[in-house]
A and B are shown apart, each in its own frame.
Chain A
Amino acid sequence: MSAIPRLQHHFEDLPKQAHAAKLGMWLFLGSEALFFAGLFTLYAAYRAHHPEIFRLGVAHNDLVLGTVNTFILVTGSLLVSFAVNALRLGRRTWAILLTLGTALAGVAYLVIKGFEWARHMSEGIFPGGKGSFFVENPEPAWAIFYTAYYGLTGFHVIHVTVGVGILAWTAWWMHRERIGPAAAYKLAIVSLYWHFVDIVWLFLWPLFYLLRNPA
């Protein structure tokens, strides 16, 4: 049986149902964008208060690892886009593999991020301005820079983790033939979520890795 999604009783036809699902996901992503906006506002305000130390803090982050992470996430987005297309064309195996590939990209991102955090912690940098680093660098702005760093990247990590979970779950459903070509919109809305997570990183990357040179 090739997984024709059930038309829910209140929708006129399947295209309407698919359209509603996509609209719903876009609206939800709008709320997620505002979620991160609050955090970006915090960063912006504090960077305006303490421009030099924020710059130094960004310079202290590992540019290579940050850029590798960018490539990983963008590749993941590419893969999941191909997966949606594959599913629409009926190539179920490719769709599943590509989706899992995206999930794997997410996991790789998490591993690298974890490694970065571990390195910071070994230098005595903990959220809340705790740790030996802040004894050596007593200027208060260091504390707020790193707390904002942990806060923003941590919040993003939560979203990446959720994304990985949902991708894996969707791949499983495709495998069990509960999502087939006619229900490709379901994979499409998952991919929308992943693209959003990717875009947030494309803002985090400059704020925490690229903006390191003197004005």
Chain B
Amino acid sequence: MKHAETIPVEVAHIEQVTPLIKQFTLRPVGVGELPSFSGGSHIVVVMRAADRTFRNPYSLMGSPRESTSYQIAVRRHDGGRGGSLFMHREVALGTQLEIAHPVNLFPLVKLARKHILLARGVGITPMMAMVDDLDESSCPWELHYGYRGPGHDGFGARLRARFGDRIVLYDDSAGDVPEFARILANQPLGTHVYTCGPADMIKAVDQAARAAGWTGSHIHSEQFTAPPVGAPFDVNLARSRLTVHVPADRSLLEAIEAAGVDAPYLCRGGVCGQCETDVLERDGELIHNDHWLSDAEKAGGMKIMPCVSRACCTRLVLDR
């Protein structure tokens, strides 16, 4: 299996940074260092609970130059599949986990003449590492961070302490919100903007940038889409000759994996395309939750992204 090679790590430190977000420090088990990585990278953390295995992607927050530990931050979701709850409630100092090698789907563009980073809530995590890379370069940059209210600005305060005026903070509860049109206006040619936050924020930035004349190649985003829960359904795996039941609180990919089938994946968040699967037979509708397939492909109903999408079908046969 492509991702069989994981790195065993141990939780060395846990910090409650905001009421909803915990930061975990991961050290390699035994001797050795962790691989270097590029800012914007994430790792898939394998969490083995009693009755199921979670594989959740988390951005690397620490310095890419720090090889003795990795830092990740997890926002607690009470109504999800339970991965973040597992991290918050079951993981303690000394807990051993497995992590995959870093993958970067949200890199800084090396030819940019200026970088503008926009984040909200836990979306700040990839940028904590990116600013470390930016600090090594001589390229101008600025970061705008929105948080929900007092007590939720832990990461923002750290960044202000380190980088001063390059960091602009917005307290939601005080009615302070970033005006994307104003931030993006009058930027020099060659400026790139990077957004990490909820879907509506990413869309708003994209619209404001394009309205200001920015080209798509200079607008980048990363969205943390946890696989949405939904009504349970059954799926037939043609090549594996199995029928798999997908419970409400498990993704289609997780259910396939739990059945012992080795399905390809990479980001586990519906954006990279690696898990794209052909639909061989279908009687019903697919529920597409990804950002990979084109509108035409989604409408066609012949492809699905099992890491985040679901189905409402009386019969569904996949090429797995």
Whether both chains belong to one complex is answered with no
